Amino acid sequence: MPRVARAESSSGSRVIAHIDMDCFYVQVEQRKQPTLRGHPTAVVQYNSWKGGGLIAVGYEARKYGVKRSMRGDEAKKVCPDIQLVQVPVARGKADLSVYRNAGSEVVSILARRGRCERASIDEVYLDLSEAAETMLAESPPERLESISEEALKSHVLGLHMDGVSTKDCVKEWFLMSNVHRRDKLLACGALIVAEIRLEVLNETEFTCSAGIAHNKMLAKLASGMNKPAQQTIVPFSSVEKLLEPLPIKKMKQLGGKLGTSLLADLGVDTVGGLLQFSEEKLQECYGINTGTWLWNIARGICGEEVESRLLPKSHGSGKTFPGRQALKTVYSVQKWLNELCEELYERLLCDLEQNKRIAHTLTLHASAYKLNDMESLKKFPSKSCPLRYGIAKIQEDSLNLFNAGLREFTSICSAKIKGSKQHEWAITGLSVSASKIVVIPSGTHSIMKYFHNQGQTCIPIKEPDGISTQNAASLSSSGNGCCVSLHLPGPEINTCENEAKTNLDMPCLNPYEDEIEVCKARFDFMFVNVLIYKDAFHMEKFTDNQDPFLSRMIQEEDRLTEKLLLSSSSGAENGLGSKLTQSHMDSHGPVLKSENQKRKFDKQKGTPSILRFFQSHNSSSFPEQDHVSTFQENEASSSGLQAINGSPGRKSTCSLVEDEFRSNAWNYKSDEIDPVVLNELPPEIQAEVRAWLQPQKRANTVKKGSSIIHYFSPTANS
């Protein structure tokens, strides 16, 4: 394919934006302390040596020549009025959580308009292709009453001014009709980005700059071209001119060794310089993939997709120990590793709690040098291992990783300084990171998808004629839908109160029926999800007393159970047919089975708990041994779970729930459960769930290495 055609077809009609927050840390600090606004400001590292190192410099300070490489004292010399703000400190090191949270705030706004990839603490890629296509079809720029002021301030690369004012030129560019469709899409993308940037400003007070182009590489290049608070558009026709003079080192991934070797091997110092080499030649020099990649980037071709990712790919905690602060004993390393691990673990738990994500890999990086061998600097090998949850485990594992790295490092260095008796080392930087972060499996398998896709549970509602109808969609369209999205452990449990209230007006025999059904569906879910959860954590790895996710899950169930009880009692009070309510409940498993149980439950209303609720069931109605065998395969993991609690008398919520399943059984029959839920699962899993749900009839089919455990295991879906 000819070069230009290849470039065109690769970019197609994609519209990609790269959004970069302006002097981010400074803006965050200025929002905290509004008196800093308008003043030259910089954020400095927490150490006070020579006024601390500058890590972010505001644009007012940049006008005076203040640069990020300077120390506070130096900055004061060139800009005496500069306000130096210290980065917050926790555990003796920089605490970046305030910046991270501010970044998340912005991301949540940016993600409203298209696929959004959080690329770093303060930058985001957006795929606006769909939004631009829609705009072009429904309200193209030339049909708009006016082009927004913010959009008119755009920089359009390659635009000929011809003596006309920039604004008029840009306006003309937005309104042009006889141009290629891809440019029109870009114009739509730019209008959308201008709107989004204003939204960010209005909602967060932060300014950001943006690049709008046909691919990620060009968008990223463009976003840094006009800062702060501006946007730059790269029409296809201006790509060559943009890249030709661009210093090779400015290109993403060419700032390091590869960029240096391009200059050394091929004498190339600008991107345009690469154009003279054939793809084959570049492949010959740098290998097939890198050769092709170089050939492509010289022509502005980049097929990299914008990933849908609002959350970070990894978490890390690190600290440098420059100069005399270098660590020289394993004891001091261990002390700092413990601190770093604590911070890391806090973030892991937060991620688990908020996003239901778990990390799989723990990595230790260190920079070190051997005394008398400065060449050894930074050659400390990074080490990884599977990540085990539990602060003590992470601390222990990172120390082991460090020791493994140190052994390798010292032997490498010993070989280099043969003959020397010097074996001392010093650590100048330490970091621990958690990567391979995945949403716990239930979020991705079909049973969850079922609820996701429905958006609302299909809750059977009995019509006055007694015919059981259902369908969330029809309920919804009639305005009577009880919108429930389930989130155990995936998406938010979101009982739409207003809609639920509307249901009270429905001519139902039992106005609380749908709520009961919601509870029922959710109990089903809890059952499946506890199993998934256990499996996701491999049980024995779940070594903490804290199980925030499960406790949230239980709290949620408590809330619903309470609601259910209140519903049933108020139903009786207001004469809406308590008998019917009761009879309905009687037919629905764990919902109150008898007056007796109801009374027991009523007593506990102050602190209702699903666990107590299950405890209140008469377990003798279910043959114990059936349940024991049902859960036999989990025995090892279950004991692991109990062991984690330290004291024998105390059990984690997870093990309590498991015990409830084990001893009190799940008072469901498979035919009482919405068959759609089960039918979504593969046949062998359906059979197994049904067997669990109706243990007394269960054939002894559950084998070791059960299929359901495999199915819900983190790797099963990959």
Binding-site string for ligand DCP from residue 108 to residue 147, where x marks contact by CB under 6 A and - marks none: -------------xx-------------------------
Q: Of 242, 201, 205, which Cα lies nearest the Cα of 223?
A: 242
Q: Which residue has the tokens 């041994």?
A: 625
Binding-site string for ligand DCP from residue 16 to residue 55, where x marks contact by CB under 6 A and - marks none: ----xxxxxx-----------------------------x
In whole angstroms, give the CA distance from residue 79 to residue 667: 73
CB closer to ligand DCP out of 28 and 493? 28
CB of 121 to ligand DCP, least distance (A): 6
CB closer to ligand DCP out of 106 and 685? 106
Task: Quote the tokens at residue 656.
Answer: 């309590």
305 is catalytic: no
Binding-site string for ligand DCP from residue 160 to residue 199, where x marks contact by CB under 6 A and - marks none: ----------------------------------------
Q: What is the CA radius of gyration of the chain?
A: 31
In whole angstroms, give the CA distance from residue 458 to residue 470: 6
- In one-letter notation, the amino acid at residue 450 is Y
CB of 686 to ligand DCP, least distance (A): 50
CB of 22 to ligand DCP, least distance (A): 4
CB closer to ligand DCP out of 38 and 682? 38
Q: Which residue has the tokens 């723990």?
A: 362
CB closer to ligand DCP out of 46 and 346? 46
CB of 43 to ligand DCP, least distance (A): 7
- Closest chain position to ligand DCP (CB): 56
Kindly report the number of other CB atoms within 10 A of residue 287's CB atom.
11
CB closer to ligand DCP out of 122 and 660? 122
CB of 702 to ligand DCP, least distance (A): 53
CB of 67 to ligand DCP, least distance (A): 11
Q: Which residue has the tokens 């409203």?
A: 112
In whole angstroms, give the CA distance from residue 190 to residue 151: 7
CB closer to ligand DCP out of 140 and 228? 228
CB of 224 to ligand DCP, least distance (A): 7
In whole angstroms, give the CA distance from residue 16 to residue 185: 10
Work out whether 537 is an interface residue with ligand DCP (CB under 6 A). no
Give the strand pairing for 41-44 and 83-86.
parallel
CB of 68 to ligand DCP, least distance (A): 6
Pair 218, 235: CB distance under 8 Å: no
CB closer to ligand DCP out of 106 and 448? 106
In whole angstroms, give the CA distance from residue 38 to residue 27: 11
Pair 207, 22: CB distance under 8 Å: yes
Give the 3-state secondary structure of 338-385: HHHHHHHHHHHHHHHHHHCEEEEEEEEEEEEEECCEHHHCCCCCCEEE
> Which residues, 6 or more positions from 96, have their beta carbon under 8 angstroms from its beta carbon?
87, 88, 121
Dihedral Cα 264, 265, 269, 274, nearest 10 deg: -170
If DSSP codes are grouped into helix, strand and coil, which group holds residue 673? coil
In whole angstroms, give the CA distance from residue 713 to residue 359: 14
Which 50-109 positions form the footprint of ligand DCP (CB under 6 A)?
A: 55-56
Pair 509, 464: CB distance under 8 Å: yes
CB closer to ligand DCP out of 29 and 515? 29
Task: Quote the tokens at residue 586.
Answer: 């009687």
Residue 16's DSSP bridge partners are: 127, 213
In whole angstroms, give the CA distance from residue 469 to residue 575: 25
CA distances from 308 to 267, 340, 367, 378 (A): 38, 29, 33, 34
In whole angstroms, give the CA distance from residue 314 to residue 433: 7
By CB under 6 A, which span of 15-23, 271-279, 550-558, 568-576 interacts with ligand DCP? 15-23
CB closer to ligand DCP out of 57 and 132? 57
Kindly report the number of other CB atoms within 10 A of residue 22's CB atom.
17
Task: Quote the tokens at residue 661.
Answer: 């399943």
If DSSP codes are grouped into helix, strand and coil, which group holds residue 612? helix
Which 222-261 positions form the footprint of ligand DCP (CB under 6 A)?
A: 227-228
In whole angstroms, give the CA distance from residue 45 to residue 29: 13
CB closer to ligand DCP out of 55 and 412? 55
CB closer to ligand DCP out of 89 and 628? 89
Dihedral Cα 324, 326, 332, 334, nearest 10 deg: 160
CB of 341 to ligand DCP, least distance (A): 21
CB of 26 to ligand DCP, least distance (A): 6
In whole angstroms, give the CA distance from residue 173 to residue 51: 48
CB closer to ligand DCP out of 117 and 626? 117
CB of 31 to ligand DCP, least distance (A): 13
Size of residue set near ligand DCP by CB under 6 A: 12
**Residues 423-443: b if buried by 16+ CB within 10 A, e if exposed:** eebbbbbbbbbbbbbbbbbbb
CB of 122 to ligand DCP, least distance (A): 5
Q: Which residue has the tokens 């973030």?
A: 347
In the set 60, 123, 499, 517, the catalytic residue is 123
Q: Of 183, 129, 130, 179, which Cα lies nearest the Cα of 156?
A: 183
Return residues touching ligand DCP (CB under 6 A): 20-25, 55-56, 121-122, 227-228
**Residues involved in catalysis:** 123
